[in-house]
Amino acid sequence: MSLLTLCLPLLYSSAYAVEGMWEPAQLPSLAEPLKTAGFPGDPAALARLDQAPLGAIVSLGGCTASFVSNDGLLVTNHHCVVGDLQQAQLPGEDLVATGFYAPTRADERSSGPSKTVSITESIVDVTEKIVGKGSGKIPSTLSDLDRKARIDDATKKLVATCEKDSPGRRCRVASYYEGLRYSLITQLELRDVRVVMAPPDSVGNYGDDIDNWHWPRHSGDFGFLRAYVGPDGKPADYAVNNVPYHPAQTLTVEAAGVDPGGFVMVAGYPGRTERWQTGLELERSATISMPRRIARQEWLLGLYAEMVKLDATAEPLLNVSRSSVSNGLFNNKGALVGFTRSGVVTTAKARDVALDAWIAADPARTAKYAAAIAELRTVLTRRDSTLDRDEVMGWLGRSDLLSAARTILRAAKEREKPDAKREIGFQERDLPRVKARLVSLQKGLHLETERRYLKKLLLEAATLPVDQQVPELMAWLPKAASPEAAVDAAITRLFTDSAIDTVAEREALFSAKTATITASTDGFLSLATALWPYDEARRTEGKTDAGAIARLRPVYADALRQLDPARSYPDANGTLRVTFGTVQGYDGRDAVHYLPQTRLEGIVEKAGAWPFNAPPALLAAIQSGKRGPYLDAKLGSVPVDFLSDLDITGGNSGSPTLDAKGHLVGLAFDGNYEGIASDWLFDPVMARTIHCDIRYVLYYLDAVANADALVTELGVTPSL
């Protein structure tokens, strides 16, 4: 029996309908799987962007939300609005800890200048305009650096034309199937977003890291925002006289929820999966990238904990970052466990062996694929010699203030060019967003944390092996008897009379010319200036690699699709997708079966010290025995969270969970620990999505938060 025959069973996994983050345009072709799963409607109608439900789904940039009222009310996850709460809080407040509710529109608070709501209006294939075809195809003789420049130029032209022809819209080009296809996406972008309601962290993040990624869960992971526009109905920056946006489509809240075994689907904006990566890449993730990232995240969480103990003012500034790092740490640890249990690397490497054998079996396939795939594997490892340097410098660049200084300098240098020649991300269309991020970072800036973070990373950089050190950084460091002394002197310089640690200073510098910035005596600006040649060299390397990847990876993807026709959906890339399946539990381990729903009583059972410090008002409401119309008679309680076999990933957080009628029955907010590795290899047996049940949302609003106005706006009559 040939190796190809042995490996083929590993490749064909299309039998499981639950796998797949489907593009809207693909839904009509999934009529049979949808019907089998329990969807009675017309998939063609479901795929329309100008109708509910898809017309009501929006991107928050890293999370998903949906319109649930004609006055621009949005529902999403609690963990998707903690950044909004941080931006909205006043000095002395900690809205993440206390929660927030605006009983009137006037009480709603701005989510900050960088928050946006994006509504997808059209998705158009522009592959030919990006990479061409026939005589217009990008020549194979073009250097990889020039290839990247050509793709970027074509992208910028398409975006510029799109935004000129569609005022008030934001356009982007997205790559699918590893560069085999490109789409131009047009979105209406709303820039005035306000916080309406979020429960305290002891509800929205009930269980914190102990329960994170684990079932059973009892988290009320929900929050509400509202989108506003100018008095003329057009997108506008925050202003007191702005008015609520009136969406063309909204979701209907289904107060009866969904039962176990019932059909559910999630529509949202999943960020990234890596199911099309080579075995080489997955092996490097498992053996190098993830273990190193875990070590960094563990150190960073320790730093945050230390700062909170030392400084009572630190927690409101650091809690959003702490939550993000903690979630990432659990994800990486779970992925490593899942890689081993699911055989991710073994399966991917076997797939690549089978692919090579399939290619070698035919001269035409050999001519078409072999050389390009071999070169791709070489390209993927050509930066290995500077791996340690690149890791340390990458983490160093995450410093808020150093990142701000580099951004300020780069924006100034880009403004010296004609707009069409500027880098993507620094054109005129982008600068308001860049400036908004510079403003927003203040609400999470804790200087002592910055100081200690930079001290560690600078010392690591200064003590790298000589062949890995960054000459520009070493020349900038003060001369001293030891690396430790040099770094201590550097830290003193950075944090003495800093010119960029306030919003006003960063805003002023953002408009300054390059000469003003490079002449500054500010430590962070001087470091950014010193690192400029290094940064430019790395950007050139990155563009060269990207050009090579754009040339080679589509060949690999095309070969995989020819060998394995089951590869019918692209990796997640932050664009609108739909996934569907049913509400169901799973067998977590030997002799352990997890039911698909949790109940209010489970909150009381867990209640105690943080992170199970359920609010007294919630415990009192539960113990009163009143359940109102939110009672699930079969369950004998109000369901809190539930499981489904849906295929989601990061970015789907806040996505509406819809029933067979397209009505809102919950909010997707997490995956299970056993299924984390599904970002690389989907496991239909173990992978589960965790949802907050809409009945718990309504129960909490009605019985605990006394948010009658909000319940009414959701189309439900308050009764508790």
Which residues participate in catalysis according to the annotation? Answer: 79, 221, 653
* H/E segment holding residue 67: strand 64-67
The token pair at 85 is 């709460």
Strand partners for 181: 176
- Three-state SS sequence of 656-679: EEECCCCCEEEEEEEECHHHHHHH
CA distance 505 to 525: 12
CA distance 188 to 58: 10
The token pair at 200 is 């305290």
CA distance 712 to 379: 57
Burial of 23 (0-12, 13-18, 19+ CB in 10 A): middle
Local structure of 381: helix, strand or coil: coil
Q: How far does Cα 336 stand from its chain's mean position?
A: 20
Q: Which of 666, 653, 654 is nearest to 694 (CA)?
A: 666
Which residue type does 296 have?
A: R
Evaluate the CA torsion angle 261, 222, 671, 614 in order and state its sign. negative
Cβ neighbours of 713 (radius 10 Å):
18
CA distance 693 to 255: 10
The token pair at 167 is 């005022």
Provide the 8-state DSSP code for 479.
P
Which residue type does 210 have?
A: I
Helices first, then strands: H and E counts in the chain = 28, 20
Q: What is the largest CA-CA distance in the chain?
A: 75
CA distance 682 to 679: 7
